[in-house]
Structure 1
Amino acid sequence: MTTAVKSPLYLTDTTLRLLGDLTDGPAGFDGIAATPEWAQEVRRLARERNATILAHNYQLPEIQDVADHVGDSLALSRIAAEASESTIVFCGVHFMAETAKILSPEKTVLIPDQRAGCSLADSITADDLREWKADNPGAVVVSYVNTTAEVKALTDICCTSSNAVDVVNSIDPDKDILFLPDQFLGAHVKRVTGRTNLQIWAGECHVHAGINGDELAEQARTHPDADLFVHPECGCATSALYLAGEGAVPEDRVKILSTGGMLDAARATGAKQVLVATEVGMLHQLRRAAPNVDFQAVNDRASCKYMKMITAGALLRSLVEGADEVHVDPETAAAGRLSVQRMIAIGSSGGGE
């Protein structure tokens, strides 16, 4: 039996019963368990809406498992642009859905909860960047993809954590560079490139910044045979390189990697155990990629509350109601698209953030 509603979809009794359990609070939508029945309804609704479901590596395991594609934000945005479906349901944070809209302006892009923000993207506004550019005329602006559409529109070239070094190296060495917004990724790029005319915005991801060097050193000491996978946004990235430089950890066991790079390294590692310094949602994909390896979080409290706002209930609601649609002003989208396309032209961008 099906029941017609104002939504363009026909909802089964099962869908209506699940929606009856849905609650909405400050932390997001809740009340619906991620059961096989829920997963079946989500997939059915996605087919009816002609939608593909994309999930970032930091999403809840049940969201990753029901998605059509799982990956980093840029790789997912590129998948969105190539998808045959007319609707993209982006399970991630808001700037990621914006990027998908920038690359797919003709498609409908939904984020299951529009309140899912990002502390890193919020650490610099378009007005902040305009002022910084005014103080440094002629400088080339390099923005991490973890930024808002308005910031991308004021950017010369975007980068990911996996290709930031290549992007910076592609710029005339005599040109000053404004690198934003992540100070830890910026420090990593400056260290690797040796670029002295690179200014770094003092932004950070609150989750990655909270993974500190002391706990990394302690974990490395108590797990002497483990590899270390460290995201360059982490506050402990410099500490990881220091440990390797001092011989506390063999240099070949310390790897500074994007999320996509971590998956590649997981499949190739010969280690029995790997310590992972990034948001804990990444462990789900790593364990799927290399089930015989023991992956452990350096900090098991490193969980992004915004990523976790995309719940089973939020996803079901979004598919039923067509909520929440992401819009980007066409002029802003066109300018932002140029900065992303310049990055893609350099290559090595598939590894994402």
Structure 2
Amino acid sequence: MSVTNLPTPGTRPAHDAVEATRDVYERVRHVIPEAEWATFAQDVVAIQELKRSRRAVVLAHNYQTPEIFHGVADVVGDSLLLAQRAQDVDADVILLAGVPFMAETAKLLNPAKTVLVPDITAGCSLADGITAEDVLALRAEHPGVPVVTYVNSSAAVKAVSDICCTSGNVERVVRHLGVDRVILIPDEYLARNVARATGVEVITHPTRCEVHERFDVAQVEQLRAETPGLTVLAHPECSPEVVAVADVAGSTAQMIDYVTTHRPPHVALITECSMADNIRAADPGLHYVQPCNICPHMRRSTLSTIRIALETGGPEIVLDPTTAAAARRAVERMLELS
């Protein structure tokens, strides 16, 4: 007796899926080989169908890989833009392709919606490096000093803060407070860069981004020697020494804006690897030097984990109501300035 292997429900044969996603592949053909796309196409088709049936949207951070960023995401951006756009989506389900603290922020701003994350165990050296108890200890040590908390933090940490910030708006937030001293947590390097830029005394916490702290001045100098005319853009989570030798320092959104506006002929983005891939996919005419480091936590989001999350309805972000209310106030104060 012969047995015919039929596709599982919601799965198209590989060839059909490739053909069905031909227009999507055109967006990433400069960074993903066609043979590799064939391994992604079935998941892309399934995710698009699941988004329709579940009334779901996918929000993806700039550090997501191109097959996610260009292939299935409805909204892409840095932490600030995702926080803003999360409030505007017309959907019952939000899937945040990123790490759990980002999904928590989306849930804070959309308490009535179901918010999913592809992998609840994905970490973040910044969010995992500080607790609410640490913040309360800083408050006790420095009474009356306002606490500015980077969005790369848990809801529990946000809840004991005065206002949140992103790498794109942190200087505006600090200046808005109109004080001589602030507690800026959890990123030590971001805090030191802000102190230099604003002249405000900054009290911080010894936590750093494991991706950005690995860059050093010697790498930047070597890149310049190898590529004359190179424009170097550094994320403010890099050390102050690296930021000082870069041509431009800014958030991921500010980097993208600079590259697309000024179009320097040779570009080095001192940040996570996928960032350059995503820009190059959209604008292959520029020459990108990629001295990048990979965030292992961001790579926990894959097309497969996104698909499973939409199929099963989990992992779902659930927050304690009291914690969520306090954390929401800190995030909303930031958004009022943005």
TM interval, short-chain normalised: 0.7 to 0.9
Give the direction of change, closer, same or farther, for the CA distance of 1:292–1:172 in structure 2 (3 Å limit).
Answer: same
- Letter aligned with residue 333 of structure 1: A
Which one is further off, 287-296 or 95-104?
Answer: 287-296
1:38 maps to 2:29: no
1:172 maps to 2:178: yes
Q: Unpaired segments of 5 or more residues in structure 1?
A: 1-10, 18-31, 245-253, 348-353
Confirm or deny: 8 A CA contact 2:40 2:303 kept in the other structure: no
Q: Which structure has the highest helix share of the two? A: 2
Identify the residue that residue 219 of structure 2 maps to in structure 1: 215
Pick from 295, 300, 306: which aligns with 1:304?
295
Pick from 299, 314, 317: which aligns with 2:305?
314
1:139 maps to 2:130: no
C-alpha deviations, 1:251-289, integer Å up to 9, x for none? xxx000100001101111242110110001101222134
1:14 maps to 2:11: yes
Confirm or deny: 8 A CA contact 1:169 1:193 kept in the other structure: yes
Q: Could you tell me how far apart the structure 2 residues matched to 1:115 and 1:57 are?
A: 20
1:257 maps to 2:263: no
Identify the residue that residue 112 of structure 1 maps to in structure 2: 118
Confirm or deny: 8 A CA contact 2:65 2:278 kept in the other structure: no
1:91 maps to 2:71: no
Please report how far the alpha carbon of residue 218 of structure 1 lies from its aligned counterpart in structure 2 after TM superposition. 1.1
Confirm or deny: 8 A CA contact 1:262 1:286 kept in the other structure: no
Q: Could you tell me how far apart the structure 2 residues matched to 1:60 and 1:66 are?
A: 11
Confirm or deny: 8 A CA contact 1:278 1:297 kept in the other structure: no
Identify the residue that residue 324 of structure 2 maps to in structure 1: 333
Give the direction of change, closer, same or farther, for the CA distance of 1:240–1:77 in structure 2 (3 Å limit).
Answer: closer
Q: Could you tell me how far apart the structure 2 residues matched to 1:168 and 1:134 are?
A: 20
Q: Could you tell me how far apart the structure 1 residues matched to 2:259 and 2:179 are?
A: 35
Q: Could you tell me how far apart the structure 1 residues matched to 2:231 and 2:256 are?
A: 13
Q: Could you tell me how far apart the structure 2 residues matched to 1:210 and 1:282 are?
A: 16
Q: Which protein has greater RCO, CA pairs closer than 8 Å, 6+ apart?
A: 1
Please report how far the alpha carbon of residue 193 of structure 1 lies from its aligned counterpart in structure 2 after TM superposition. 0.8
Q: Could you tell me how far apart the structure 1 residues matched to 2:137 and 2:301 are?
A: 34
- Letter aligned with residue 58 of structure 1: Y
Q: Could you tell me how far apart the structure 2 residues matched to 1:309 and 1:280 are?
A: 14
1:269 maps to 2:271: no
Please report how far the alpha carbon of residue 35 of structure 1 lies from its aligned counterpart in structure 2 after TM superposition. 2.6
**Equivalent position SS for 1:158:** strand
Give the direction of change, closer, same or farther, for the CA distance of 1:224–1:311 in structure 2 (3 Å limit).
Answer: same
1:239 maps to 2:242: yes
Q: How does 1:73-88 map to 2 (within 5 A)?
A: 73-88=79-94
Q: Could you tell me how far apart the structure 1 residues matched to 2:243 and 2:105 are?
A: 31
Q: Could you tell me how far apart the structure 1 residues matched to 2:86 and 2:13 are?
A: 29
Query: What TM-score results when the alignment is normalised by the length of structure 1?
Result: 0.83
Moved over 3 A (4+): none
Please report how far the alpha carbon of residue 116 of structure 1 lies from its aligned counterpart in structure 2 after TM superposition. 1.2
Identify the residue that residue 248 of structure 1 maps to in structure 2: none
Root-mean-square deviation (CA, aligned residues, Å) is 1.9
Q: Unpaired segments of 5 or more residues in structure 2?
A: 1-7, 15-36
C-alpha deviations, 1:210-242, integer Å up to 9, x for none? 11221112112222201111000013x42342x
C-alpha deviations, 1:111-148, integer Å up to 9, x for none? 01111111111111111111111111111001111110
1:284 maps to 2:288: no
Confirm or deny: 8 A CA contact 1:34 1:312 kept in the other structure: no
